[in-house]
Amino acid sequence: MKAEQLSMYAFFTDILRKESAYEAARFARECGFAAAELLEGVRPGMKFLFADAQAAHLARAGMDAHGVRCACYSVSINILSDALGPDRNLSGVEVLKKSADYASILGSPFLHHTLTIGYEPPCGSVQTIEDILPALLERAGQVAAYANGIGLTVLYEPQGYYVNGLDGFPLFYEAMKARGYRVGVCGDTGNSLYVGCDPTAFFARYASEVRHVHIKDLHVENDVLNRQNATASRRWDVIRDGRYITDTLPGDGMVDLAACLRALDRAGYAGTYSLETFYWNNLSISLRENLLRDREYVLKNL
């Protein structure tokens, strides 16, 4: 891995929202990143990252001023929702088409988006991916057709309760490929752990399809007592088998990052690696120090 392949991901968008793309890009450059991944979190009632195309153009100018390219434009969204945006009146498809426009303006080759949100089992009648697969394919197909039409490749990662691991992800992804859309995999080194799938097994199968990578490490606790006794700064989620999982710094968790990246090397991967690491689990040092530490670890050990 080369330094120019690394992208700032976590907290780049936070700085952009609070200050500007210019300041976010300046900070990224100071931490040694020549690329950044933007993350749009779309929920009912939430404002969008960009108000309009003009705002996206201004963000592009701010990033260009510091020589920071947009490696990927990512959207966290429930594509099946019809109540998104500030006025809760937009569908997931409508939102993602706007996101595709912004990705194109920013110069990203990819639109990456989730499909559903959350890792806990549903409480209603929908219990399996088979129950929602037709709706996911229909809506994701509309988005992919639009994004492909403006030159973007659409990426999906193993994520959420349904489209994850080697049981759920292939059902969706292979169906999208069979429909002829230009799609690829966002290789996330941790997400499949949420459904009990070893990330190395996921990368072994899909390395040749990976077009972009999220590097993260995770720690799992087996019982609730350990979770309750953990520091209050940690955010814990429940995974499919009932254990508890949290983000941690690269090299401090249970993910065999080196094995995941070896699979990519064998497949000839030469794309970007985004550092999806979160500093709230290491609050003793600053965001800048965390990013520099993570960057140094990845370059030396991976």
Q: Please tell me the distance from the alpha carbon of residue 267 to that of residue 206, in angstroms, as a whole number.
A: 9
**pLDDT over threshold 90, residue 170:** yes
**pLDDT over threshold 90, residue 247:** no
CB 98 within 8 A of CB 73: no
Q: In which element (H, E) is residue 74 found? A: strand 69-76
The pLDDT score that the predictor gives to residue 77 is 94
**Residue 112 belongs to domain spanning:** 3-301
Structure tokens at 194: 């949420």
Q: How far is CA 225 from CA 219, 222, 230, 241, 244, in A?
A: 15, 9, 9, 16, 10
Domain count, the chain: 1
Average pLDDT taken over every residue of the chain: 90
Longest dimension (CA), the chain: 51
Where residue 209 sits, what CATH number does that domain have? 3.20.20.150
Q: Which residue has the tokens 């639009």?
A: 146
The pLDDT score that the predictor gives to residue 234 is 63
Q: Tens digit of pLDDT for each residue in 258-299?
A: 999 999 999 999 999 999 987 655 555 688 888 999 999 999
Q: Which residue has the tokens 């959350």?
A: 118
Lowest mean pLDDT among 69-78, 199-208, 235-244, 269-278: 235-244
The pLDDT score that the predictor gives to residue 53 is 97
- Per DSSP, the three-state class of 103 is helix
Q: Given pLDDT bands bounded at 50, 70 and 90, which one contains residue 172?
A: very high
Q: Tens digit of pLDDT for each residue in 204-220?
A: 999 999 999 999 999 88
Up-side HSE of residue 25: CA atoms within 13 Å toward CB? 20
CB 74 within 8 A of CB 26: no
CA 290 to chain centre: 19
Other C-beta atoms lying within 10 Å of the C-beta of residue 138:
12
Q: Please tell me the distance from the alpha carbon of residue 76 to that of residue 115, in angstroms, as a whole number.
A: 8
Q: Given pLDDT bands bounded at 50, 70 and 90, which one contains residue 177?
A: very high
Q: Given pLDDT bands bounded at 50, 70 and 90, which one contains residue 242?
A: confident
Q: Virtual CA dihedral for 283, 289, 292, 296, nearest 10 degrees?
A: -70
Q: Please tell me the distance from the alpha carbon of residue 213 to that of residue 265, in angstroms, as a whole number.
A: 12
The amino acid occupying position 270 is: A
CB 130 within 8 A of CB 172: no
